Amino acid sequence: MKNVFSRLKILAFIMVIIFASCSRDEGFDENTQSEELQQSNLEEKYFLGKKVKVRKEEDGSYSLGGSDVRLFEEQLSDKPVAISKNPIPGADNQKLVLGGSVRKWPNNTVVYQIQGLSNNVRNELQKSFDEWTSKTSIRFKQRTNESNYVTISSNGQNCNCGVATLGMNGSNGFIRLGSGSTALVIIHEIGHTLGYLHEQNRPDRDQYIIINYQNIINGAANQFGVDQNAQLLTGTFDINSTMMYGSYTFSKNGLPTITDRQGNILPARRAALSNLDIQGTNQAYPGDGGGGPIDPDPSGPCDGVSEWNPNTNYFVGDRVTYQGNLYERDFFNWIFISSCN
């Protein structure tokens, strides 16, 4: 009886461990490398006017502190670069080639080419496209001869994971997916391609969540930093965003790295856009909320559009007129749309 009781105790303990592990399984693999690898080959650069740690990858891109965000040399600088929060439309002060250039896709359309994905991952990719196109003004077009496009391919790993470059990057942009990648991960990576950073980096995040730095693996703490220069797409922090880290992301001890202000575990990320994801995307990429981009009115493209005001706080997707031209706000500058005449 003593042996039976001991075995029952061991079995009960194992069941508790399994239950705890399952409750923390968010259905995807974060890019959480070992502590030793996480700290190797990291160098300091400036991105969006802020000092960050990056690692140069074999393909020449830079991983932002070991996360799934990939940057290029022209998006980084060795010295801080002042970023104007309200640049003048059409002016030559938009030299953000260094220090934080993030560009959005014109005409609300992500142009892509696929290389070497399995049928299963292609099916999940189509589900992800459908999620974005059914709820926002974003569209996807397979490349023919366009010069700006993103290459979607395998990362060579057997995981439900991925990495993506930030914003439109000419012909250099990419999304790389594991062989087990599902829409849960792919929808998130598409968000990076659209130019979105992680939600937990918003400057107002401390009003909504708690970062438990004592539970974060060495070398990954900068993934939880606040970015004061981030362009906010919505007025409210979104704990349910597809761009939000999970409660156990980069945990070194099985304890939560992020909780809400009451210490509760965050909702698991879903293979779906939140209401605020949808609202923010349709602000940044203006359209009709699901039917495609809105072209300027040929009878008067500037009718009803206010003149640029240096004292106004503009958001991505806002339109203004300036010196007889129509402009739309990108992440850090203005895009020329058309002449008002």
Catalytic positions are: 189
Alpha-carbon distance of 25 to 218, in angstroms, equals 21
β-pairing, 258-260 vs 109-115, is unpaired
Query: What are 336's strand-pairing partners?
Result: 327
Which residues are CB-contacts of 262 (< 8 A; sequence separation ≥ 6)?
none
CA-closest candidate to residue 209, choices 229, 230, 228, 224? 224
101 contacts 77 by C-beta, under 8 angstroms: no
Which residues are CB-contacts of 100 (< 8 A; sequence separation ≥ 6)?
46, 47, 48, 49, 75, 81, 83, 229, 332
Q: Residue 208, Cα to own-chain centre: how many angstroms?
A: 19
Burial class (CB in 10 A: 0-12, 13-18, 19+), 248: buried
Q: Which residue bears the tokens 């740690």?
A: 53
Radius of gyration of the chain (CA): 22
Which residues are CB-contacts of 146 (< 8 A; sequence separation ≥ 6)?
111
Residues in the chain: 341
b (16+ CB within 10 A) / e for 261-300: eeeeebeebebebbebbbbbbbbbbbbeeeeeeeebeeee
CA-closest candidate to residue 269, choices 28, 87, 88? 28
177 contacts 148 by C-beta, under 8 angstroms: no
